[in-house]
Amino acid sequence: MTDDGEDAAVLGNRLRDALARYVEHLADRGLSENTLLAYQRDLDRYVAYLESIGRRAPDEIAGQDVEGFVDAVRTGSDGRRPLSESSAARLVAAVRGWHRFLARDGITVDDAARAVRPPAQPRRLPRAISVEDVERLLDAAGRGEGPVPARDRALLELLYSTGARISEVVGLDLADLDRSERRPAVRLAVGGAKQRVSPLGRRALSALTEYLTQARPALASGADRSDRLAVFLNTRGTRLSRQSAWAVLRSAAHRASLPDADVISPHTLRHSFATHMLARGADVRVVQELLGHASVSTTQIYATARDEALREAYTAAHPHAR
């Protein structure tokens, strides 16, 4: 007959043995060594928590134990570092996966984590840059001699003027442009047969006209039949790629010495377009149409970004704000 200490050790090993079986199962599925180590690290913390509350075997774990662990990792009440919402969500996903395995393999009768949901992820607001930084970016794109600076200025002006995605702009053909003085516009392919028409601002129209009349002919001299109708060409006369357009923006951001130039992307101009429109009183449904969003709830994120900026400005400036 074993003493109580030996019994506890045997029962404790049942948790560790079940965890080892799960990690082996994950390895058989082809997960990388780094991923396996991450699972092991997360679930080791879970098992240590279970042992601290007296659980010694998988079939002793109840749903309230899993919920208690979720609270512990968010608050640090288990004596370890509290986790961010995203890290806690990752850890809870690992716990849920282990409990599904335990129930599926008959190690436990029920899935104790079935009703437990990961912490809600904070909604990330789109990153926008100021109107002043947009101006600096556009000016920097047009610096230099030859056809390329004119193309780069036109490209970025068009992105900011329409709020278009980079794939929509590099996919433009000449027939998609309406440069009439009265109602200049551009036809953008959203995907498949779906299209939308976006008005073209005066600045973008001017930059585009300069590029098409003075710069594009030089770039198009080497274009083959498939690319000669593309609006934006590279120096080989073929259609500008998404990667090259990304490089154009990143290079201009560095030349303009913008803060966080390394993380500015073509989507930054799309976010800035929406945020600046809403800040100047545009109706959210109008911005929804211009962006090509299927749901207005997607567009309302930009309104939240605008409200956050207003709140920060108020807090910083108003004498009674703090």
Selecting among 153, 270, 271, 306, the annotated active-site residue is: 270
Start-to-end CA distance of the chain, whole Å, equals: 68
Known active-site residue 165:
yes
CB atoms near residue 157 (< 10 Å): 25
Helix (DSSP H) and strand (DSSP E) numbers for the chain: 13, 3
Selecting among 96, 151, 302, 306, the annotated active-site residue is: 302
Give the DSSP letter of residue 163. -
Known active-site residue 271:
no
Known active-site residue 136:
no
Known active-site residue 320:
no
Please identify which residue in the block is written with the tokens 């995605």.
165
* Cβ-based neighbours of 314, under 8 Å, separated by 6 or more: 321
DSSP letter for each residue of 55-85: --SGGG--HHHHHHHHHHHHHTTTSS----H
Q: Is 162 exposed, middle or buried (0-12, 13-18, 19+ CB in 10 A)?
A: buried
Q: Which residues pair with 177 in a beta bridge?
A: 186
Determine phi and psi for 192, rounding to 5 degrees. 65, -130
Selecting among 21, 74, 187, 267, the annotated active-site residue is: 267
Known active-site residue 270:
yes
Selecting among 45, 165, 216, 276, the annotated active-site residue is: 165
Please state, in angstroms and as integers, the Cα–Cα distance from residue 237 to each residue in 5, 175, 226, 246, 257, following that order. 79, 18, 10, 18, 30
Any idea which residues carry the catalytic annotation? 165, 267, 270, 293, 302
